[in-house]
Every structure is written in structure tokens, then in C-alpha cells.
């Protein structure tokens, strides 16, 4: 499995569900050029959207990709995906609306993408998410989640690997915090990372809260 980060909450996952099989490309939470960043390009097999504000950004993939924008269970091209309903605030969506957490399972690895979540997890959400190998976590918007809440979510899920996303980077117009405080909390000496991360099942099964940084692709 290969992961790439484009900035904000946008992650690309490339995976082969079966050895020697066809590669499947998933794009989670695409954005458009209004962000100040370079939007993802190329063919995507599956696109997931954590909230309705991303519909316009995903328009260019319509008709070419299978788009998932709601809760439910999906099995596509050998990849199992589950959307879990949550909210972008701690008022049951009254302020910012709904959010969908997505889990992606392939190659014996479960990835959890929290989207634009704005609260710590309920017992039901934790149960639905299950065991997590890789947690994709938005860390730069204190209006959604404080450092204390971020730490609580990590404690709730106990992932093998944590990959931070949605924080201040060069070129981004949205005002977000950098990830230095979060990185320091989890023992990272540098906020620099690799443009692409290749992960195998055996790499993550013995990890616990291991922070891994991605550089923007």
C-alpha cells in the first residue's frame, strides 16, 4: 500500500488487494485550486468525501470514479470501505454539519481517515471503526479539535501509525496551525517527511502510536 498527501485532508491511497492483481487508486477528500495548493490530478478509481463542502472539488472526477459521500459499507475492486457518520463540530452538526469518517481495508491493513471531525469519538464510533493500523488525523484546526482532544482520540483508537494532515503548509490560503506542537507531543524530531509512504502489513502490526510525517506530493 502506498500513501501520498496533497495538503489539507487530501490523501491518495494506491493498493493491490491481491498479489499480482490490478492496482486501485483511492482519493480521500479532494480540494480545488482556491485553497492555494495544487489539486490532485490523474485517474482515480474511488473518491471519498467526508462532507458536502467537497462536492464541487470532486466534480472533475464524476463519471470517471466511484464517489462515496455518505455512511455505509462498500466493497469495490477488492477494497472494503466503511463510512461512519460523525460531525464537524461538538454540537451534533448544528454549527458546521455532518462529517463521515472512512475506513479503508486492503492488503491486511486498515486505514482510518477522520475527515474534518470536530469532536472526540463516541463509544459507537469507536466500535464501528475497530482496530486501526494507520490513522489519518487532522491536527491544525484548533476550532475543531484541541491538542487535548487529539490526544484523546489517539487514546481511543490506539493506532499503529499516526499520519497528521490538515495543518499549515507553504501556499495554503486557509489559516491553520502548524503541526509542531502535535509532533512534539508524539515524539517527532522533525516535521519533514517523505512524499510517498510504502507500507506493508508486517510494518504496522507491531507499531503503537508511531508518528509518521508525509511531505506534500
- Confidence at residue 60, expressed as pLDDT on a 0 to 100 scale: 85
- Of 210, 195, 134, nearest to 7 by C-alpha is 195
- Of 45, 104, 102, 101, nearest to 79 by C-alpha is 104
- Confidence at residue 86, expressed as pLDDT on a 0 to 100 scale: 98
**Does residue 12 contact residue 26 with C-beta atoms inside 8 Å?**
yes
Q: Is the pLDDT of residue 68 over 90?
A: yes
- Confidence at residue 90, expressed as pLDDT on a 0 to 100 scale: 94
**Does residue 107 contact residue 53 with C-beta atoms inside 8 Å?**
no
Total-model pTM = 0.95
**Does residue 88 contact residue 117 with C-beta atoms inside 8 Å?**
yes
- Confidence at residue 25, expressed as pLDDT on a 0 to 100 scale: 97
- Confidence at residue 159, expressed as pLDDT on a 0 to 100 scale: 97
Residue-wise pLDDT tens digits, 14-54: 999 877 778 999 999 999 999 999 999 999 999 999 999 89
Lowest mean pLDDT among 70-84, 97-111, 120-134, 201-215: 201-215
Burial class of 92 by CB neighbour count within 10 A (0 to 12, 13 to 18, 19+) = exposed
Residue-wise pLDDT tens digits, 183-207: 988 877 666 788 899 999 998 988 9
Alpha-carbon distance of 4 to 199, in angstroms, equals 11
**Does residue 116 contact residue 50 with C-beta atoms inside 8 Å?**
yes
3-state class percentages of the chain: helix first, strand second, coil last, to nearest 5: 15, 35, 50
- Confidence at residue 43, expressed as pLDDT on a 0 to 100 scale: 92
Residue-wise pLDDT tens digits, 128-161: 999 999 999 999 999 999 999 999 999 999 999 9
CATH architecture designation of domain 2-211:
4-Layer Sandwich (3.60)
Residue-wise pLDDT tens digits, 160-181: 999 999 999 999 999 999 999 9
120 band by pLDDT with thresholds 50, 70 and 90: very high
Per residue, the 3-state secondary structure of 112-179, as one string, reads EECCCCCCCCCHHHHHHHCCCCEEEEECCCCCCCCHHHHHHHHHHHCCCEEEEECCCCCCCCCCCCCC
Amino acid at each position: 500500500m502506498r500513501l501520498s498527501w496533497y495538503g489539507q485532508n487530501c490523501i491518495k491511497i494506491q493498493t493491490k488487494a491481491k498479489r499480482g492483481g490490478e492496482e486501485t487508486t483511492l482519493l480521500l477528500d479532494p480540494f480545488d485550486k482556491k485553497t492555494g495548493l495544487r489539486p490532485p490530478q490523474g485517474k482515480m478509481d474511488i473518491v471519498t468525501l467526508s462532507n458536502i463542502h467537497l462536492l464541487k472539488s470532486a466534480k472533475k472526477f464524476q463519471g470517471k470514479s466511484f464517489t462515496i459521500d455518505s455512511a455505509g459499507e462498500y466493497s469495490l475492486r477488492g477494497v472494503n470501505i466503511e463510512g461512519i457518520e460523525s460531525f464537524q463540530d461538538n454540537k451534533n452538526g448544528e454549527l458546521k454539519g455532518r462529517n463521515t469518517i472512512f475506513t479503508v481495508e486492503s492488503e491486511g491493513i486498515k486505514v482510518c481517515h477522520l475527515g474534518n471531525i470536530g469532536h472526540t469519538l463516541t463509544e459507537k464510533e469507536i466500535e464501528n471503526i475497530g482496530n486501526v493500523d494507520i490513522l489519518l488525523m487532522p491536527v491544525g484546526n484548533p476550532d475543531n479539535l484541541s491538542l487535548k482532544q487529539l490526544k484523546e482520540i489517539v487514546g481511543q483508537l490506539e493506532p499503529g501509525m499516526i499520519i497528521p494532515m490538515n495543518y499549515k503548509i507553504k501556499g495554503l490560503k486557509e489559516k491553520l496551525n502548524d503541526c509542531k506542537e502535535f509532533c512534539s507531543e508524539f515524539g517527532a524530531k522533525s516535521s519533514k517527511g517523505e512524499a510517498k509512504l510504502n507500507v506493508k502489513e508486517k510494518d504496522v502490526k507491531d507499531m503503537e502510536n508511531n508518528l509518521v510525517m508525509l511531505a506534500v506530493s
